[in-house]
Chains A and B, each alone.
Chain A
Amino acid sequence: MELKEKIVSSYVAFENDVDLNSEIHDIRSEAFHNFEKLGFPTKKLEEWKYTSLNAVLKNDFSIFPNKENTIEFADVKKYFIHDIDTYKIVFIDGKYSSFLSDTTHDGKDVCLMSSALSKSKYKIVIENYFNKIAKQDNLTSLNTAFANEGAYIYIPKNVEVEKPIQIINFTTGNDTATMVQPRNLIVVEENAHVQIIERHQSLTDNAVLTNVVTEVFAARNATVDFYKIQNDKDNASLVDNTYIEQKTNSVVSVHTFSFGGNITRNNLNFYQRGEHIDSILKGITIIEGKQHVDHHTLVHHIEPNCESHQDYKGIFDERSTGVFNGKVIVNKEAQKTNAYQQNNNVLISDKATINAKPQLEIFADDVKCSHGCTIGQLDNDALFYMQQRGIPKKEGKALLMYAFANTVLESVKIPEVKSRITKLIATKLGVNIGFDL
């Protein structure tokens, strides 16, 4: 049975299984019909021209892993940022793991979507925010139709969360192929501040398809720093759909580090609904083999006097392929917008490919919008310079690549995340140097 049919036929059972509140039920049904109509994206769609899910979708996924699987912390410790204290919301095959998690209701809610969707005390927040900015496209609709579990984070006014929050989704591979669809909702009220680290990690070589949707709402003066660490196994694919709405004077940054996985598609969408907003989108992609990473970004400048800063660096070796599609829309009303987009790529191998497309739609006349896109090779003169000083070619290359990507790391605010990423890059490049630049 094809995956779509399998999903469609299991919807009724799913709906009967979850504790229903009628509004959520309506949202789910509408999304379900949407997906039923649209199906999975194909390369015929402009937005999916360079990324094909066909091969992935041929797996016989178990779509609602029901078993409660457990894992030992020692076995997965390395996937956590474990050298600092953090809140943790951890899922194993889509099920909440209270054992690995560290949640709170003390002055804020760092807990579960399933609770938020079913308990009355969260009703108002859910009514105001759930599925309010997520698109009605095929994969987001598919997630919405089955939205049930994930992270629920609510930070009230003036609260600065004292430590970062980690959201980690493990898949055990106890089924030969697993599909999971986490659904996260993050609401950060006025003048509040939170840092979030998100990771999807398969623990075996069995196939995994993750279709995650995250909605983030940043109220006036709120600050949100979001770090996505994507370094999954070769058989794990990820579609990350993130939607962020910002209000006046808020600052939201999303750093995406894509170092592994089969097919990784990031749909990152920012909507600026207020003035003096700053949106920061940064990413480092370092891949090889047949890995594929696709960044589709959207920044919608709706009101005047806002800024957006995009900086994506990509390093592609062997037969890996990359996509960068950076869309910036500046509404007619959004005067004095300052939108900056930078996308630089290095192709290490002549078999590697990058498809880069800046897409600017500007309807206001008093704006500063710049975009730069480069595709190149490593600078041989710089490499010779390093070798001349005694740094071997491999280490020299690694140092150059690290330096190339470093503009993205500079803005990482959690030192432990920065050092972890630095180590991942060194491992990725096969060198043992500190890069303490």
Chain B
Amino acid sequence: MLKINNLHASIDDKAILKGLNIEVKAGEVHAIMGPNGAGKSTLANIVAGKEEYEVTDGTIELNGEDISELAPEERAHNGVFLSFQYPVEIPGVSVTNFIKTAINETRKAKGLEDMPAKDMLKMIREKSELLEIDRKFLSRSLNEGFSGGEKKRNEIFQMAMLDPKLAILDETDSGLDIDALRIVANGVNKLKSRDNAVIVITHYQRLLEYIVPDFVHVLYDGKIVKTGDASLALELEAKGYDWIKKELV
């Protein structure tokens, strides 16, 4: 699914990723953990195609195709989804209309007609129920005045609507209370299949109790420095990151 090879990237001439390798296969869940400033969000943004970052070396392949030159929307059309750590508020655009536009633009890119309104409404109803989202919520302006939990739930709702191949959840657990966390995790689990893959970026083991990873990676100073199974997350939770830093010296 996703294969990142020796990725080097910088922003404003400051190197953030320094030779990162990761391979994620269909059907897998990967967790990426690491201290602040290690480059976790940078990795997520680069895979999604944010223009401010400059890839100076390495490749990003999605299903065998190099996507590093593609525009963000083209990557999205190829099945990349990023659940943002800080979803942007867009006053004046309702949740419903935004997702409708996103779906129909994606269909347009694939040479398909707009989705019939009836099907769209049915899907919106199903997916909003999955995320326990109130109907009224859907007519509000996108993310405007949403609580932290509402923003994250809305991200996963959009993920459910767009049905991506590769979903990257960037600190989706931050700002969530325990109930919201359960709803969000439950949503992600229901969307999981043998054909898609999920990368969970998080600081805490908490989310991984609900979304159980096949692999846990530690990202530190722009590189994956350690990989293990779900038990690594528990170890990190208990011991922090210092022991890994020491191992590296």
A-to-B contact residues, CB < 8 Å: 379-382, 384-393, 395-396, 399-400, 402-404, 406-407, 433, 435-437
Contact = CB atoms under 8 A, between A and B. Distances in A.
A388 B99 CA distance: 12
Contacts of B141: 403
Interface of B: 48-52, 71-73, 75-77, 80-82, 84, 87-94, 97-99, 101-103, 105-106, 109, 141, 158, 162
Label chain A's interface by main secondary structure: helix
B50 A384 contact: yes
Nearest to B80: A388
Contact of A387 (B49, B92, B99): B49
B92 A404 contact: yes
Contacts, number: 83
A381 B82 CA distance: 13
A390 B90 contact: no
A391 B102 contact: yes
A388 B76 contact: yes
A396 B97 CA distance: 12
B129 to A, nearest CB: 21
B72 A387 contact: yes
Contact of B105 (A384, A392, A406): A392
Most chain A Cβ neighbours within 10 Å, of B77, B81, B91, B103: B91
Contacts of B73: 387-388, 390-393, 396
Given A390-B162, A393-B71, A384 B92 contact: no
5 contacts: A388-B75, A388-B76, A404-B91, A435-B97, A437-B92
A410 B72 CA distance: 31
Contacts of A393: 71, 73
Contacts of A406: 92
B87 A391 contact: no
A429 to B, nearest CB: 14
Given A384-B51, A384-B72, A385-B84, A391 B90 contact: no
Closest 3 CB pairs of A and B: A403-B92, A387-B72, A390-B106
B146 to A, nearest CB: 14
Given A393-B71, A395-B105, A436-B97, A387 B76 contact: yes
A402 B92 contact: yes
Nearest to A407: B92
Nearest to A399: B93
B90 A385 contact: yes
A391 B93 CA distance: 13
Most chain-A CB neighbours within 10 Å: which of B93, B103, B109?
B93
